[in-house]
Structure 1
Amino acid sequence: MQTVARAPIDALRPRRLRRRKPLRFHSRLPGGRLFDVFEDRPLGGRVRAVRRLVLVLLWTLLCIPVQAALLALPGEARASFPRVYHRTLCWLLGIRVQVVGTPSRDRPVLFVSNHSSWLDIPVLGGLLAAPFVAKSEVGTWPVIRTVARLGRTVFVSRSRGATAQEATEMRARMAAGDSLILFPEGTSNDGTRVLPFRSPFFAIAEGARQVQPVSVVYDRLGGLPACRRDRPLFAWYGDMEIASHAWRLARRSGARVTVVFHEPFPPGLLPNRKALAAEAERIVSLGAERLRQNRPVVPIAPQRHPSAA
């Protein structure tokens, strides 16, 4: 066998390709988007979304005259029927609700919760027989304003001149035995955090027998733990349109929300409304943080302030 010496520079030169045509790799499996197992199925998702949204609209149109008639009649049906409406709404949208803890029955109760989406309304409305406290802009939205008014929602404005009158109305509601659901953040967020609670919202806490913090986190999507990338699918904030947001959500399956009812406590446990807002924010934030991390969570008890009466 004879060895042929080659110059070192020849080792760097590529050999002649034996293939006349280079290999070409496709970016996806054959069959296009309709049969691509790694992408969303647009046809199936659209059919699901159309079916869900049409059923939601029909269910809403059916319940509007029923609730209007119940408001004119005495009894507790006008307060309990909205729970049926909201619970069915969650079922039609494909959202499974998991509950940790027990809502307080020592009425009137001021339920304070974090707020990340319009979905918080049907989720909490299906669990609590209590009206919401909402910003006045909600009373101008088509269809939604009708549902909110039939649900006896208390509308509040951001003008300082009307604050005293609105607080008086809310105290009158609680004096009549109604509990209230309050979002002390004042707005919705991206679902990855809890915004600071505004202490002026707790000026009406003295009219309640109990204050109960509530943590709400959307922690499952497609049957798997929801990650940071999935938060905008549930959260509704900024300049998002509710119609397009509902459409994207209705296309998906396997969604779940976990609601934690923490330990209730009397307002007099803390010396003032600022301390009350800070303690409620601490409890809600801690519960929401554990849920976002997929850790087990139990109802959290409040800490007694040293200077409380």
Structure 2
Amino acid sequence: MTWTAPTIPAPDPIGPAGWLRAGLRGTAMAGVVFGGLGLLLALRLVERPLAGQGRPVTPWITQGVCRVTLAIMGLRVDRRGTPIRVEGAQVANHTSWLDIFVLNAFQNVYFVSKSEVASWPGIGWLARATGTVFIRRDRREARTQTELFQKRLSEGHRLLFFPEGTSTDGRQVLPFKTTLFAAFYDDALRHDAHIQAISLTYRSPPGARPAFYGWWGDMDFAPSLLEVLAQRRQGRVSLVWHPPVRVDAHPNRKSLASHLEAQVRSGHAAASDHA
């Protein structure tokens, strides 16, 4: 499913100063991202034989790259709460490609993504290198997904997925789909795993449209990136980590998903009220 709005806004015109900012920031951002990727791949040659999929070092490179990239953009992050420390996963609402940088910048996490992303030019390469878990959203593959989640969690990986199943303009939270939660009700996971909800709320730059940072539907990546990089002053993003929830504290996946959705909605609404 892809969320769509009645209209997709056209990017605002970019003046000469905006093009200059976009060029300088884009060059710096590319240097950091691909330089970090090169370092990560080189270290994996040593890390993999010693630690397998444990990845004790390389996720810190991803975290550092994302922090520096946000600084280059000028996007500030207001944080509340503490990332989960126990075995389990995280869920968040989904607004933009920026979510990947924001969520990676302050914790070591591995995203769960639809399998099509693996073949996307550039983005798919980065996703594979940083350990993204690729799945097909198909009930017939529930057993395979459960085994994959169990394996990654046993290796100390913190998984993160977007239960809305699509990105939006960031002005609301869509109902959570419950399919992926079923994996956590396997006997090997349900009594030990916790899931933490995360609320992401973007505040547009001064004078920009309310959904400035939203990226959804058929919107292209390049124009969205260019418009963000061209801004003289950026907005802000609120990042709220809610208290983790034990999976077995809820009788089924629908109950668990409903509870986590309510947490995300409350954090999103509170941050929106203060925007």
Q: TM-score range by the shorter chain?
A: 0.7 to 0.9
Deviations 1:101-145 (A, max 9, x none): 111212x23111000111100000111201101111211111111
- Letter paired with 2:98: L
Q: 1:49 to 1:59 in 2, by over 3 A?
A: same
2:22 maps to 1:57: no
- Any conservation in 2 of the 1:111–1:180 contact (CA below 8 Å)? yes
How many angstroms does 1:254 deviate by? 2.7
> Is 1:158 matched up with 2:137?
yes
Shift of 1:185: 0.7
**2:199 is the counterpart of 1:215:** yes
The reply on whether 1:263 has 2:243 as its aligned counterpart is yes
Distance in 2 (alpha carbons) for counterparts of 1:282 and 1:123: 21
Deviation for aligned residue 1:286: 1.3
Q: CA deviation at 1:63?
A: 1.4
Structure-1-length-normalised TM-score: 0.76
Q: 2:203, 2:236 within 8 Å by CA — same for their partners in 1? A: yes
| Gap regions ≥5 residues in structure 1 | 1-38, 296-309
Q: Is residue 168 from structure 1 mapped to residue 147 from structure 2 by the alignment?
A: yes
Partner Cα distance (1:144, 1:41) in 2: 25
**Mapping of residues 1-309 of structure 1, within 5 Å:** 42-72=15-45, 73=47, 74=51, 76-106=56-86, 108-206=87-185, 207=189, 209-222=193-206, 229-231=209-211, 233-252=212-231, 253-294=233-274
Q: How far apart, in 2, do the equivalents of 1:97 and 1:63 lie?
A: 21
CA distance in 2, matches of 1:41, 1:201: 41
| Alpha-carbon spacing, 1:281–1:87, altered in 2? closer, same or farther (3 Å) | same
Q: Which has the higher contact order (CA 8 A, sep 6+)?
A: 2
How many residues align? The count is: 251
Q: Distance in 1 between matches of 2:78 and 2:139?
A: 38
1:239-288 CA distances to partner (integer Å, 9 max, x unpaired)? 00000111111111232111001111211111111000001001101110
Contact 1:219 1:291 in 2 (8 A): no
The CA deviation string for residues 68-110 of structure 1, in whole angstroms up to 9 with x for no partner, is 122231351022221111111211222111101111212x231
Q: Aligned equivalents of 1:102 and 1:220: distance in 2?
A: 25
SS at match of 1:99: strand
Task: Report if aligned partners of 2:197, 2:242 keep a CA contact under 8 Å in 1.
Answer: yes
The alignment yields a C-alpha RMSD, in angstroms, of 1.9
Q: TM-score, normalised by structure 2?
A: 0.85
Percent identical across equivalent pairs?
Answer: 32
Q: Which runs of 5+ in 2 are unaligned?
A: 1-11
Which structure has the bigger radius of gyration?
1
Measured at CA, do residues 220 and 189 of structure 1 come closer, stay the same or move farther in structure 2, by a change above 3 Å? closer
1:159-198 deviations in whole A, cap 9, x for unaligned?
Answer: 4443431331112101222111111111111111111111
